[in-house]
Amino acid sequence: MSEGLDENEVRKIARLARLALSDEEVRRFANQLTRVLTYVNRLAPDHESEIDSPETQTRDPLAEDQPGVMMNNAELMRIAPMTDPPFLRVPKVIDDGGSS
């Protein structure tokens, strides 16, 4: 990453994050975000790492997913705070994606 983020890109990121930034903050964050992204790019697995050491090399493969002990449905319905049998009800955590 040689050129960095420009102010319009920072404003777009701020808008997506629903942040209101002053012009001074946009200039400051353009510099800071460029430095962060440059550092993260150095850590990318497809990039020849500048921090190549035994501590940063993963030698152990990930374990296979194995199903664990399952709770029976009646017990789960009994202890769940909100149910609509045979389903569990959970609070909404993602909005409808509309703009504000």
Q: How many CB atoms lie within 10 A of CB 76?
A: 13
80-96 pLDDT, tens digit per residue, is: 999 998 899 998 888 76
Q: Which two tokens stand for residue 37?
A: 């992204």
Contacts of 92 (CB under 8 A, 6+ apart): none
Name residue 83's beta-bridge partners. Answer: 88
36-51 pLDDT, tens digit per residue, is: 988 888 887 765 555 5
pTM of the model as a whole: 0.40
End-to-end CA distance of the chain: 32
CA 6 to chain centre: 23
What domains can be seen in the chain, in order of their start residue? Answer: 7-48 (1.10.20)
Give 41: exposed, middle or buried? Use CB within 10 Å, 0-12, 13-18, 19+.
Answer: exposed
